Chains A and B, each alone.
Chain A
């Protein structure tokens, strides 16, 4: 199934390096991210160096190189959150989920992210899950939060 889309993209853009972005968009639309093997194939078939493909894929914010979980857990490490102990929250979540920032749990449920300041400093420390902002957390509360998703 995934192979079929790759084949189709390759067929329409073979030998046309200028179509790189269109091809990347098509792949991302299908997979939800850009898998490395697909990028390698694309590079070869379009005639674009892999380094350039990677450069473009990492330049535009809409492209992702890693699969996304169903939920994004985003820990704020901005100054305000930091002084109120967001570091501990971050470590607790990291341990619990067993992934590094940017990565997704094996069951595909959560992707862990970090940011600096989401503009909710008055509620610090803050964790944003999907679109929802949770404030005044401590490690325990943060872990409990995961259960809701």
Chain B
């Protein structure tokens, strides 16, 4: 739709803008400054502060530029004497009841009110206002609220409700007593605040401030380094605020490509681990019972010698490497090279095994690529969003912001989840299925589309294959049958299927609720089938988005930290690809796929794996069947762990190597959108810690391979040469393309590929895979009548080694969440200790009611090493992807006698 253009004159300059533009927007486009206090381009207009008033020739009043649309022929003055005078008075009024403590205010020098007073020459106020006298609110470790300084611009109120969907705070009272507050003056932590701190990011004055930065330094004393968040795969960027080689805080970076100013609590407040006293600062050797601090040459010498010995005695396949989804691409690449070229084994894997291994298998076979098809910013372009097994507001909070944005634009949201999560409660449709019955549900949705002729015939004919077989399978799942299996009402299944099929643009977002089952791979096939059937792939705003868990799990997969793939998903079984790497690396590459992470632990427990090199992972807490993992680690002849803390896993090591954190090194992370972004060194490594890429390089050298990487940039050059999807990536380019680069980017001139499968699928045609529902392995029965689902909380990350060493430790406990009626029936009161047992282990834990859980389902997180919930999870795996069933363990719950 072409909008009519309108021409007006601002400060004597002719400006032409589309009809409906505000005077403020028009002025900004023309580079003309108009002050604002309550306006924000990403929030709804309000027009409350009046600072943006301008003079329009012929108008009696001075209109607020931020809410007044332009008209043809308007003549606007932005700094006329009348305007300046009015602004002067407005600023005086604001200062009248503002505390006069700019000298000690944290925002001094970066405060909008100060700047305005300066600009308009307001030295003191003529008005003798009553100063407010509210106590400063700082009862939580994240946000300090000083409402005496608040200028009531309402930006925080709008961020909290419009962006976050939380509406924790609002205006209350009136007249001079007007104040922004949570209801009933509750402290934020009791009012449902999620401490995203996005209200801080918009507050123009010192009324809201991040507590960890309080008193840490003036804003002109610090250095700001733009880098990428070390937590989840959303891939937000922000500034690390550095003073005297210490990270003192995190600040929003408005140019951040994925997230703009918005962050979640982990990104904004989860940095305290960097300088935590527990950081490993020296290499450690266990000799024979206690760890002793040693020098780098001693430690590296020992590791090299022991690995060589194991290799000589038992062969290379007796060694395994567990890479990390948290290290950089360059480091993951070097670990893949270290395993394959130095050790000579394909036994390399990482924790993607435990999250999206089924996606790698199934989406790859269906579409040709196991990665998300579209950028997150396209979620709001969809008119229908189907979220499956994703607790998005807690696990990918900033991705959830995009869903919230879509909702504000009128998109329809359906959520498939056994739990009534927050995103489910915001949805138009919540399909509360029985755990592990997704295939029946998704097949039935396909059935509806086929039956009612809602499927995209053109797309299916021209762009897919194997439709007939799929059709036959899907037709065996009428909604009535699916309703019986899943417990979701038939009419709801039909309605949601119709909505999905009829949408112009639709996205499916899914995570661990889909993959962490013994049928995880088939679940993903079922999703891909539905998307293919309705043709919702390969367009702007239409696609399938598996949200990746860790900051660089996408990159670790891309870089070949997988037993069956060399970097760039080049199969180790393909002789020509092997030959390419053999030439580049100067060694033969073993031709058979290696062991997966889950298999490595089994093999170690059985004595087939003798040595493990574990980098930045904590399987003692995160793997299924903790008992088996422990046995495996104890069984090893040699274990070297490289990490930033002495984790539960590192305690079993013979040698521990201290790694540098994300703040201490350069590199790249690839987020869930396939966007490659630059990670920047902000401080020097603490103690004698070294970046992982340096450690691996030194180790390779120690083992007789003349690696000579001088920097991560040099490693990226090698990656680009050998990995077609990264072929055009270089540090020079990332420096001038702050948006990052979306792979596939095969050569330096290629712009990158934000949307996959546009003309053709990566594999040519999209392939249907008929799948059938099979009852989950673990079903509740007489002995184990409950079904346990494991998951995460917003405030913690995985084994919590980082988050629990930050103010996020404020949220400590892992509790067993149960339906209140189930609790009552078992005579369990809130905070009672219960004994929970599965066929694989037992655990004592405190119980707490959660009425959003259906009866018969219980939930707990795995963050807490003191409550190692994974002891209960069996090691039965999906046959293809080898992922354990974290989302459905039959358990028994009894009141614990102490």
CB distance from B179 to the nearest CB of A (A): 9
CB distance from B633 to the nearest CB of A (A): 49
Interface bits A29-73 vs B (CB < 8 Å: 1, else 0): 000000010010000000001111111001100000100000000
**CB neighbors of A among B140-182 (8 A):** 161, 167-174, 181-182
Option from A39, A51, A65 in Cβ contact (under 8 Å) with B182: A51
Q: Which residues of A contact B183 (CB under 8 A)?
A: 39, 50-51, 53-54
Check A58–B161 contact: CB distance below 8 A.
no
Could you tell me how many residues of chain A have their Cβ less than 8 Å away from some Cβ of chain B?
12
Determine if B167 and A51 form an interchain contact, defined as CB atoms under 8 angstroms apart: yes
Residues of B within 8 A of A49 (CB): 161, 167-168, 170
Instruction: Choose among A36, A39, A51, A65 the residue that contacts B170 (Cβ–Cβ < 8 A).
Output: A51
Does any Cβ of A come within 8 Å of B462's Cβ? no
Interface residue B289 (Cβ < 8 Å from any Cβ of A): no
Q: What's the minimum C-beta distance from B296 to chain A, rounded to whole angstroms?
A: 55
- In the complex, the answer to whether B173 meets A58 with C-beta atoms within 8 Å is yes
B220 at the interface (CB under 8 A from A): no
Q: Is B184 an interface residue (CB 8 A)?
A: yes
Interface contacts (Cβ under 8 Å), in number, total 37
Kindly report which residue of chain B lies nearest to residue A60, judged by CB atoms.
Answer: B174
Residues on A with beta carbons closer than 8 Å to the beta carbon of B853? none
Docked CA distance A55–B170 (Å): 6
Residues of chain B contacted by A58 (CB below 8 angstroms): 172-174
A53 and B182 alpha carbons, distance in the complex (Å): 11
Instruction: Determine the chain B residues whose CB is within 8 A of the CB of A53 once the complex forms.
Output: 183
Are B171 and A55 in contact (CB-based, < 8 A)?
yes
Q: Is B49's CB within 8 Å of the partner chain A? A: no
Compute how far the CA of A77 lies from the CA of B170 in the bound complex, rounded to whole angstroms: 30
Q: Is the CB of B174 within 8 A of A54?
A: no
Give a binary string over B579-618; 1 marks a CB under 8 Å from any A CB, 0 the rest.
Answer: 0000000000000000000000000000000000000000
Q: Do A52 and B167 touch (CB < 8 A)?
A: yes
CA distance A52 to B167 in the complex (A): 8
**In the complex, B191 has a CB within 8 A of chain A:** yes
B174, B181, B183 interface centre (most CB from chain A within 10 Å): B183
Which bucket holds chain B's interface residue count?
10 to 19
Q: How far is the CB of B496 from chain A (nearest CB, A)?
A: 20
Residues of B within 8 A of A59 (CB): 171-174
Give the docked Cα–Cα distance between A53 and B173 (Å). 12
Chain A residues within 8 Å of B168, by CB: 49, 51
Residues in B668-695 with C-beta less than 8 Å from chain A: none
Cβ–Cβ < 8 Å partners of B171 in chain A: 55, 59
State which residues 96-149 of A face B: CB under 8 Å: none
- B169 contact set on A, CB distance < 8 A: 51
Within 8 A of A (CB), among B49-93: none
Nearest CB in chain A: distance from B423 CB, A: 16
> Hey, which chain A residues are within 8 Å of B172, CB to CB?
51, 54-55, 58-59
Q: Using CB atoms, name the residue of chain A closest to B167.
A: A49
Whether the Cβ atoms of A51 and B191 lie closer than 8 Å is yes
Q: Which residues of A contact B182 (CB under 8 A)?
A: 51
The chain B residue sitting closest to A50, CB to CB, is B183
Min C-beta distance of A81 to chain B, whole Å: 18
Q: When chains A and B are docked, how far (Å) is the Cα of A65 from the Cα of B161?
A: 24
Q: Give the docked Cα–Cα distance between A9 and B172 (Å).
A: 23
Closest CB of chain A to B876's CB: distance in Å?
A: 41
Q: In the complex, what residue of chain A is closest to B183 when comparing beta carbons?
A: A54
Complex Cα–Cα for A105 and B168 (A): 31
Q: What residue in chain B is nearest A59 (Cβ atoms)? A: B174
- In Å, the complex CA distance between A39 and B184 comes to 10
Closest Cβ of chain A to B186, distance in Å, is 9
Cα-based distance from A102 to B711 in the complex (angstroms):
67
- What is the CB-to-nearest-CB distance from A67 to chain B, in angstroms, rounded to a whole number? 15
Output the residue of B161, B181, B184 with the most chain A CB within 10 A: B184
CA of A53 to CA of B161 in the docked complex: distance in angstroms?
Answer: 14
Closest to B177 in A: A58
Kindly provide the distance from the CB of A64 to the nearest chain B CB, expressed in whole angstroms.
13
Chain A nearest CB from B636 CB (Å) reads 54
Shortest A84–chain B CB gap in Å is: 22
Which residue of B has the minimal Cβ distance to A36?
B184
Contacting residues, chain B, for A52 (C-beta < 8 A): 167, 170
Most B CB atoms within 10 A — which of A36, A39, A49, A59? A49
Within 8 A of A (CB), among B113-164: 161
Cβ of A76 to closest chain B Cβ, rounded Å: 17
**Min CB gap B870→A, angstroms:** 35
In the bound complex, what is the Cα–Cα distance between A126 and B174 (angstroms)?
A: 26
Question: Within the assembled complex, what's the spacing in Å between the Cα atoms of A10 and B335?
Answer: 61
Question: Taking each of A39, A53, A54, which has the highest tally of chain B beta carbons within 10 Å of its own beta carbon?
Answer: A54
Instruction: Kindly state the separation between the CA atoms of A49 and B170 in the bound complex, as whole angstroms.
Output: 9
Cα A112 to Cα B183 in complex, Å, equals 23
Please give, as numbers and ranges, the residues of chain B lying within 8 Å of A39 by CB-CB distance.
183
Closest to A65 in B: B184
A51 to B168, CA, bound (A): 6
Instruction: Give B47 Cβ to nearest chain A Cβ, in Å.
Output: 18
**Smallest CB–CB gap between B132 and chain A, Å?**
16
- Given the complex, which residues of A lie within 8 Å of B191, measured CB to CB? 50-51
On chain A, the residues within 8 Å of B161 by CB distance are 49
How long is the Cα–Cα vector from A9 to B169 in the complex, in angstroms? 25
- Write out, one digit per residue, whether chain A residues 1-36 have a CB within 8 A of any chain B CB (1) or not (0): 000000000000000000000000000000000001
CA distance A58 to B175 in the complex (A): 11
A106 to B168, alpha carbons, bound, how many Å? Answer: 31
The interface residues of chain B lying within 8 Å CB-to-CB of A50 are 167, 183, 191
Residues of B contacting A65 in the complex (Cβ-Cβ under 8 angstroms): 184
Q: How far is the CA of A40 from the CA of B169 in the complex (A)?
A: 15
B173 to chain A, nearest CB (A): 5
Residues in A whose Cβ lies below 8 Å from that of B167: 49-52
Chain A contacts to B: CB under 8 angstroms: 36, 39, 49-55, 58-59, 65
Residues on B lying within 8 angstroms of A by beta carbon are 161, 167-174, 181-184, 191
Give me the 7 closest cross-chain CB pairs, A-B, nearest first: A49-B167, A54-B183, A51-B170, A55-B170, A50-B183, A58-B172, A55-B172
26 contacts between A and B (CB under 8 A): A36-B184, A39-B183, A49-B161, A49-B167, A49-B168, A50-B167, A50-B183, A51-B167, A51-B169, A51-B172, A51-B182, A51-B183, A52-B167, A52-B170, A54-B172, A54-B181, A54-B183, A54-B184, A55-B170, A55-B172, A58-B172, A58-B173, A59-B171, A59-B173, A59-B174, A65-B184
For the complex with contacts A51-B172, A51-B191, A55-B171, 6 further pairs of A-B residues with Cβ separation under 8 Å are A49-B168, A51-B167, A52-B167, A54-B183, A55-B172, A59-B173
